[in-house]
Amino acid sequence: MSIVPSSAPLLFFDSGIGGLSVLKAVQDALPNAPIVFAADYAGLPYGIKTEAEISARVPALLGRLVERYQPRLVAIACNTACTIALTHVRAALDVPVVGTVPAIKPAAEATQSGVIGLLGTAATVRQTYVDKLHKDHAPNMTLLRHAAPELVSAAEAKMRGEPVDPAVYVRAMAGLMDQPDGARLDIVVLGCTHFPLVEDELRAAAPHVEFVDGAAGIVGRIRHLTKDQTWPVDPEEGTFVTTGPVARLNTLLPALFSFGLTRITSL
Ligand code: DGL
């Protein structure tokens, strides 16, 4: 088994800044981990893309990123990419890959009413992967699904410090609560990594509901896969790499800096 250098980073990947919700949990658990965060801004949003587009795009980009940064592990912090392309990515890369899928299992363990909501992108909520999570982990429960692409733009805007109309959050929750059985909903799976970034706003729109996301599961997987590895005592500042123009990131810089992502570059 080859020895992983302590400077080898964890590589996070998302279509945009949604993966920061996962990065935060990982940084809390592994504060000395060197970080590269890749955002596919040239491809955002993934939620309106076809399965074929995602399956071709994500492994190709990750191949280039792995070659450039030689990470110890790749964390795909994007439910859309994972529910469609996780198998393709694992087949294409020779580093461990941790994925993010909707947290239906923890939701099923926590619900009292047996009615679970799932907010995700249009591409995620229609996946057979979600049917399988439902069947495996919540077979006797009702799973209400709602595609909320507006929340992706809202999270991006919030991180840029731009105002967002609160009606966006009310509409997203109504998309679940107005369905048959929606009145019995007591837990909502945030099945897109952008959504925990606006969890406070969603909670304000539906104060009686609990929210759950996949970040804790990813932290557990990364801890497990790196348990015999070392971390630098004084890690370098994190890198943020975009597939789009760096110039478009100006208003995002304060948020990126707050995650220690100060080296900004393009792929
Ligand atoms: N953050 C991504 C996810 O977890 C998707 C956002 C998008 O590009 O539509 O699904």
Instruction: Determine whether 56 is exposed, middle or buried from the number of CB atoms within 10 Å of its CB (0-12, 13-18, 19+).
Output: middle
Q: In the 8-state DSSP scheme, what is residue 197? A: G
- The pLDDT of residue 232 is above 80: yes
Going by C-alpha positions, the residue among 219, 216, 202 that lies closest to residue 164 is: 202
Domain boundaries, the chain: 10-100+216-266, 104-213
Please indicate whether residue 78 is annotated as part of the active site: yes
Architecture per CATH, domain 104-213, reads as: 3-Layer(aba) Sandwich (3.40)
- The pLDDT of residue 1 is above 70: no
CATH for 10-100+216-266 is 3.40.50.1860
How many Cβ atoms from other residues are within 10 Å of residue 28's Cβ?
10
How many Cβ atoms from other residues are within 10 Å of residue 191's Cβ?
32
Indicate which atom in ligand 1 lies nearest the CA of residue 194. Answer: 1
Give yes or no for residue 176 CB within 6 A of ligand 1.
Answer: no
CA distance 99 to 85: 10
The alpha carbon torsion through 194, 200, 202, 206 (nearest 10 deg) reads: 160
Residue from 22, 54, 76, 80 to probe ligand 1 pocket by mutation (most atoms less than 8 Å from CB): 80
CA of 229 to the centre of ligand 1 (A): 30
Strand, coil or helix: 234? coil
Going by C-alpha positions, the residue among 102, 98, 131 that lies closest to residue 13 is: 98
Which residue pairs, CB below 8 angstroms and at least 24 apart, start in 130-137?
130/83, 130/102, 130/104, 130/191, 133/101, 133/102, 133/104, 133/105, 134/104, 136/105, 137/104, 137/105, 137/108
Confidence of residue 152 (pLDDT cuts 50, 70, 90): very high
Please indicate whether residue 82 is annotated as part of the active site: no
Question: What percentage of the chain exceeds 70 in pLDDT?
Answer: 100
CA distance 24 to 241: 17
Confidence of residue 185 (pLDDT cuts 50, 70, 90): very high
CA distance 129 to 177: 23
Fold match between domain 10-100+216-266 and domain 104-213:
yes
Going by C-alpha positions, the residue among 140, 83, 137, 76 that lies closest to residue 107 is: 137
Indicate which atom in ligand 1 lies nearest the CA of residue 192. Answer: 4
Per-residue pLDDT of 71-105, as tens digits, reads 999 999 999 999 999 999 999 999 999 999 999 99
Q: pTM for the complete prediction? A: 0.97
CA distance 216 to 251: 29
